[in-house]
Amino acid sequence: MADDRDPGPALGRRLGYLLKHAMLALEELHEEYMAPTGVTVRELGVLLMLADREPESQQQAARRLGVDRTSMVGLLDVLEAKSLVVRRPDSADRRRNVVELTATGRTVLDQATRASDEAEQAFLAGLGDDGASRLRALLGQLALGESPEPREDASRRRSEP
């Protein structure tokens, strides 16, 4: 009987498939490790971003995280209900709301960051320290739109035999 997780040789070579399923496995570990903190990995992303650059407007936060404004409002509603963030009118522009971490938010951020670090260590354990560092560096380049190697002109690649 074949393993249900085995995608087969053709699909198992596709980068999109591999990235998606690696992310799903990491998300499962995050859920397990972060459950005691009461924060999800998406919520941790907001807390980390605010810790770096608070106060931040809701719109700026949404752009930086790559989520739409509606999703950001939902995330902030949840974080505010947990007393982890507070929204207030911007003193420079009352049409804008700025978001800041609360003292409780900072405490939970520390706990959730440690839990996330443990989940990532468990996820990457099979790669060793060098492999994990290299994977992070390469994914960082790709996430920033930097290619690890020079790219050829796409039109030239299509026209060559």
Give the pLDDT confidence of 11-53 residue by residue, as tens digits.
777 888 899 999 999 999 999 999 999 999 999 999 999 998 8
Separation of alpha carbons 30 and 126, rounded Å:
17
Residues making up the chain, counted from first to last: 161
Model-wide pTM > 0.75: yes
Q: Which of 97, 6, 78, 93 has the alpha carbon at shortest distance from 39?
A: 78
Q: Structural domain boundaries of the chain?
A: 13-147
The pLDDT of residue 90 is 82
When mean pLDDT is compared over 14-18, 97-101, 102-106, the highest value belongs to: 102-106
On whether the CB atoms of residues 27 and 44 are closer than 8 A, the answer is: no
The per-residue pLDDT for range 37-47, each reduced to its tens digit, is 999 999 999 99
Multiple choice CATH, 13-147, 1.10.10.10, 3.40.710.10, 1.10.150.120, 2.60.40.10 = 1.10.10.10
Percentage of the residues of the chain whose pLDDT score is greater than 90: 55
The one-character DSSP state at 123 is H
pLDDT digits (tens, 9 = 90+) for 53-92: 867 788 888 888 889 989 999 999 999 999 999 998 888 8
pLDDT at 1: 45
